[in-house]
Structures are given as C-alpha cells and as structure tokens.
Structure 1
Amino acid sequence: MIQNILIAVAGLGKCERMLKLLMEIPTIQGANVTILHVVTPQVSAELMAEKLTAGGQILADAIEYLKLDPAKVNVRLKQGDPKDTVCQIADEENSDLIIMGSRGLNRLESILSNSVSQYVFQLTSRPMLLVKDDVDIRRINRIMVGYNNSPDAQASLKLALSLLRDIKGSQLILIQVKSDKKAADAVSNPETDPILAPAVSEAKRQGVAYKCIVTAGDPGKEICKYAEDLNVDLITIGSPERRPSIAKSLPDLDRLLGGSLSDYVRVKAPCPVLLNRSTAS
C-alpha cells in the first residue's frame, strides 16, 4: 500500500498532473506527500540565493496546483546533487513511491546528459514512477503488468491491484512474453497459462476485471506495442536487482546502457511507467 509519496519537481509539468490524478484513487487519497525541489551548487552565494528563491516559488506553485491537504504535505527545498538528494530524501521519508519526470533518453544519452531520473532509478530500491515529457497523462483506468513468476512481477501485480480495485470500470492487463513463438501459439486460453493463472485468480478474488495476453518476441517491444494498441494508462513492470551488495551504491550499467527490459520500456512506452522491485513492496 502506498502511504508515503515523494515527488521531485522542477517547475509545473506532467509529474504534478500525474500525482493529481493518482490522488483521486481511493487507496492513495490518504497518502502523505513530500514535494522536493533540489538546487544544485552554484558558483557564487548571490546566484545560489537566486536559485533558492526560484526553488521556493516552484514549490509554492506545485502546492497551489496540487491542492492537497496541508496536514499531509511536507515541502523540502534542498541544496546538493539532485541524484543523491532524491535518494536521500526518499530514505528519510520512507517513501513507498518516487515520482519523477523523464526525457526518455536511451542508452549512453542518459549518462552523457547526466539524467537524474535514470540514475535515481539505479540507486534506489523503491518503486519509481517515471513520467516522460512526450506521453499523455490520463486518469488511471487500465494498468498493464508485464508478468512472469518472479517476485518483482508479483510485487507489480500486487501494486496494480491495489490501485485498480476501487476504480469503477478499471481493467488489469496481464501480459506474458515468451521467448518461444511455438510455445506462445500453443496457449489457446491465456487465463489457464501456468504463469498467468495465479495472477488471474488473485484479480478475480479482488474483483478486478482483467485481460490476458500471451505473446512471443522481444519483451520490451511487445509490452510497448500492446500498451499502445490497448490504450493503456500505466505500465508496471518488475526490475530485479542484479548487482551484488557491494555494488548497490553504483549504477547498474546494464540498465544505463539500454540492455534491460526496464530500460527499453522506460524509453519507448506510450504512457507512464512504474518500475517496481519486490524488496520495496
């Protein structure tokens, strides 16, 4: 259940719109929200003062736009490296969800442009909702879950159901992408597929309408294709932690270089993407 949300703001944009719509969902309405703006170090005290003043106005604009219960809002204006600061504040606030904007940069572009959202995702263990500049933001009604039998996929399913179960007319879309086309073609009824069946059972138990898809091919491409075809409002996928404990303070180069499912979907998805890890659910 989402009880503490951290949103990093840099001026009114799609992140605030996304949060405003999320706060309409019954299971999220009681959540505490931390609104964060980070000012990077400046070359002079005078310039830093100007940036801090501008940052204060950015926060004030966000508060005015979101119109949240003041008792549930915590405003943070911080100085420092945005990548490290977002992770630090998320830990301090015990955030169940981080919301950040993303330019949808791929591969080396994320490194060369010093992409904040991509690095934060590498370094945090918390669910993260990325909102690209070029996607439409709509009320959550259809959520697609990229599903397999991993703990991370199960955590994504749990989160999706918690969002959908109190939304009238909502639909859960379960998609499993097999590596073998013959195996996918052999599935006559996706609901009975051994991997999807437990998820279907849980959706039925919670009274959430669902649709099942079993396909084959490149997982990232298939997920994005079906998300566009079905007019999905949100994709949530698991993103397993592959780094050894000693390296968890460093970015995962496989993701940064575009070699992972989560990186492909983050860049190519036609809607916001919620990246989830079982350790944070």
Structure 2
Amino acid sequence: MIEKILLASSGPGNTETMFKALLEIPMIQRSQVTVLKVVPPKLMASTMGSQIADSEQQLAETISRLGIESSKVTPMLREGDPKDVVCKVADELDVGLIIMGSRGLGGLKAIFKNSVSQYVFQLSSRPMLLVKDELYSIRPIKRVLVALDESDMSKESLKVAIDLTRDVKGSELVFVHTLSNLRNSVAEAINANPSTDPVLAPAIAEAKRYRINYRCVAPEGKPGERICQLADELSVNLLVLGSPDRRPSIAKGLPDIDRLLGGSLSDYVRINAPCPVLLTRIASN
C-alpha cells in the first residue's frame, strides 16, 4: 500500500489531472499527500518576500484545485534547486510514491535542458509516477498494463498494479511478458495457455484472487517498443514497469550511465509511452 505520496507541483496541467484520477482509487484516498512547491533561490533578498508570498498563494490554489481532504494533505514550500529538493524531501518524508510532470526528454538532451524529472529518475530510489505535460489525455485509471519478467522488481510491479485496481469497478490488468526473443508469433503467444508460463501464472493467480479482469500478451520484438505499442493499441490508462537501481552503494549519488544515455528499458518506456508511467523500485545493495 502507498501510504505517503509526494506531489511535485508544477501548476495546472496533466500532473494535476492525473492526481485527480488517482483520487478515484480507494487506496490513494487513504494516503497522506504532501504537495511540494519549490522556490528557486534568488540573488536579491529584497525580492524573496514577495516571491514566497506568491508561491504560498499558488500552493494554496493547487491544493484547492486538487480537492484533497484537508486531513490528508500537507502543503510544503521549500527554497532551492527543484532537482535536489524533490529528492531530499522524498527521503525526509520516506514517501512511497513521487508524482511529477515530465517533458519526455531522455539522455543528454534531458541533461542539457535541465530536466528535473530526469534528474530525480536518475538519483532517487523511490517509486515514481511520471506524467508527460501535453502529449496525451488523462483518463480514469481502469486499464493498467504491467510489464512482467522473472525479477523481484516485476513482483513489486504486480503488487502495485493489484493494489491500484483491486477496488476499482470494471478495472482490467494487461500482463505483458517482456520476452525479447519470442519464438512464436504474437498471436500464437496470446492464444497459448498462459497458466503454464512461469511469469504470467503468478500474475493470473493474483488477478483471479481479487476478481480483477485480465488479459495476457507476450510481445514480439524489442520489449520497449512493443510495450509502448501495446499501451497505445489497448488504450491503457497507466503503465507499471520495474526500474531497478544497478549502481553499487558507493555510487548512489552518481547517475546510472544506462539511464543517462537512455539505454535501459525503463528509460525508453518513460520517454515513449503514450500514457503515464509508474516506475517501481527496489534498490540494490
């Protein structure tokens, strides 16, 4: 269960709309939410007072638009570089999910354009929900695609997807077995008996346990491309994918080179997916 959420406020837009959609989910309704507004540092102290007052007003307006129950929300105003502040506050509060907007940039382009979401994606070990600013419409969370393999990260993704959809009437889970070298065609894989698949069988059992509708798909070709194509073809509202942290403990404060250059599956999907992407995390030692 996601008990604490950090929403990095960037004003009206898809991120707020996505959060409102999440508020329709019973599990999210029980979560404590911190809405964070970051004030960039100013060289002139004389302008700081008015800037803080404006930011406080914007923060109050954001909370009003979101419609969160007052006992469940905490406004927070911090000064500093947004990239650093989001990571620091997430650790301070020990949140179970960071929600923030994204321009869908990756690799060196994101670094050169000072992407906050790319930086947080690089260095935070917290689960993240990334919402592109303007590239798609936000709909109620009914159909959730879960990318699965044999990893512990995959098990965490399944757990999160079950928690989000178990109490949502008419919800559906789309289980995607991310095989990169599938011998059969996609049609043959869909028609095969998924209950014998070591990856899909546990997911099916969990869906049946909570009486959640489901379907199974095994993508043919490159997993990242097929996952994004399936999300588009099936009109998926949310994509859940594991994003492992491969860095050793000594390098936790440094970027992951695969992510930096866009070489990981999770990086490809977060950039190209036609829907919001929830990246689950289990940090490695």
TM-score of Structure 1 vs Structure 2, range by shorter chain: over 0.9
- Whole-angstrom distance in 2 between the partners of 1:84 and 1:183: 46
1:258 positional shift? 0.8
- Whole-angstrom distance in 2 between the partners of 1:39 and 1:272: 26
1:106 positional shift? 2.3
User: Aligned residue for 1:210?
Assistant: 214
User: Aligned residue for 2:183?
Assistant: 182
What's the TM-score once normalised by structure 2's chain length? 0.94
Instruction: State the SS of the aligned residue for 2:159.
Output: helix
User: Aligned residue for 1:256?
Assistant: 260
The answer to whether the Cα contact below 8 Å between 2:145 and 2:175 also exists between their aligned partners in 1 is yes
What's the TM-score once normalised by structure 1's chain length? 0.95
Match runs of 1:51-70 below 5 Å: 51-70=51-70
Equivalent position amino acid for 1:141 in 2: K
User: Aligned residue for 1:267?
Assistant: 271
Equivalent position amino acid for 1:50 in 2: S
Alignment partner of 2:232 out of 222, 228, 231: 228
Instruction: State the SS of the aligned residue for 1:278.
Output: coil
Instruction: State the SS of the aligned residue for 1:235.
Output: strand
1:226 positional shift? 0.3
Question: For residues 115-142 of structure 1, what are the alpha-carbon distances to aligned partners after superposition, in whole Å with 9 as ceiling and x for unaligned?
Answer: 1011111111111000001121111000
User: Aligned residue for 1:100?
Assistant: 100
User: Aligned residue for 2:158?
Assistant: 157
1:233 positional shift? 0.1
- Whole-angstrom distance in 2 between the partners of 1:49 and 1:113: 28
User: Aligned residue for 2:242?
Assistant: 238
- Whole-angstrom distance in 1 between the partners of 2:283 and 2:28: 20
Instruction: State the SS of the aligned residue for 1:181.
Output: coil
Question: For residues 29-70 of structure 1, what are the alpha-carbon distances to aligned partners after superposition, in whole Å with 9 as ceiling and x for unaligned?
Answer: 111110001111122113333332221122011111012111
Identity level (%): 53
- Whole-angstrom distance in 1 between the partners of 2:256 and 2:68: 35
224 and 191 in structure 1: CA distance in 2 versus 1, 3 angstrom threshold: farther
Instruction: State the SS of the aligned residue for 2:26.
Output: coil
The answer to whether the Cα contact below 8 Å between 1:190 and 1:214 also exists between their aligned partners in 2 is no
1:178 positional shift? 1.6
For the aligned residues, what is the CA RMSD? 1.5
User: Aligned residue for 1:131?
Assistant: 131
Unaligned 5+ segments in structure 1 are none
User: Aligned residue for 1:170?
Assistant: 171
- Whole-angstrom distance in 1 between the partners of 2:222 and 2:51: 44
- Whole-angstrom distance in 1 between the partners of 2:166 and 2:283: 23
Stretches of 4+ aligned residues off by more than 3 angstroms: 183-187
Instruction: State the SS of the aligned residue for 1:215.
Output: coil
Unaligned 5+ segments in structure 2 are none
Tell which deviates more after alignment, 38-47 or 100-109.
Answer: 38-47
User: Aligned residue for 1:146?
Assistant: 147
Instruction: State the SS of the aligned residue for 1:27.
Output: helix
Match runs of 1:30-69 below 5 Å: 30-69=30-69
1:279 positional shift? 4.5
The answer to whether the Cα contact below 8 Å between 2:142 and 2:172 also exists between their aligned partners in 1 is yes
Matched, 1:277 2:261: no
Question: For residues 192-227 of structure 1, what are the alpha-carbon distances to aligned partners after superposition, in whole Å with 9 as ceiling and x for unaligned?
Answer: 322211111111112111110012211110000000
Matched, 1:24 2:28: no
User: Aligned residue for 1:85?
Assistant: 85
Instruction: State the SS of the aligned residue for 1:137.
Output: coil
Matched, 1:109 2:109: yes
Equivalent position amino acid for 2:276 in 1: P
Instruction: State the SS of the aligned residue for 1:111.
Output: helix
- Whole-angstrom distance in 1 between the partners of 2:185 and 2:196: 12
Equivalent position amino acid for 2:145 in 1: M
> When the two structures are aligned, how many residues end up with a matched partner?
280
